[in-house]
Amino acid sequence: MKKYLFLLLMASSASSAFAQTSKEPYYTRSLSNDGIKKVFLNTSGGSLLVSGEGKEAPHIDVFVVGNNGREYTKDEIKKRLEQDYILDIDIHNGELHATAKSRHNNMDWRRSLSIGFKVYVGSQTSTNLNTSGGSITLKSLNGSQNFETSGGSLSVANITGNIKGETSGG
């Protein structure tokens, strides 16, 4: 039974990760004037992407979807975020820190949200990324890259520098 529950949770994470790539962002913030050199991302249920390809102006996108397959309006998402989550995006001294986590230790997974980040920066950027339920993608970066996921896959392309990545389920 535990095995089936684990597979169900993994499928839920995978479907929400797919949904994050196919939907409009909930929130977007420009990073053009911030000179980002380090990116720290932490989320408990979403996928993470950091790209230094230079195809887009520097910015961060936040994607929010329901883990139960239900679509939410922006107003519904805002209300759920305010009640049940801590979503913090902070920039200082060339460092971007973005965190999404539940306010509750025992949150009902059927009501939970999957919150993921996509960050577009210059290629000379280091990362420290952590997600417990989503995939991690890194593209065209030079620097120290540290990343870990408990339930998602890793995708790394055109990365140079010190690299340490871990997954326990993808």
Per-residue pLDDT tens digits for 73-82: 999 999 999 9
Nearest Cα residue to 141 out of 122, 115, 165: 122
Tokens 């980040």 belong to residue: 117
Of residues 10 and 25, the one with the higher pLDDT is: 25
Per-residue pLDDT tens digits for 64-75: 998 877 788 999
Longest dimension (CA), the chain: 51
pLDDT class for 170, splitting at 50, 70, 90? low
Per-residue pLDDT tens digits for 147-161: 999 989 999 999 999
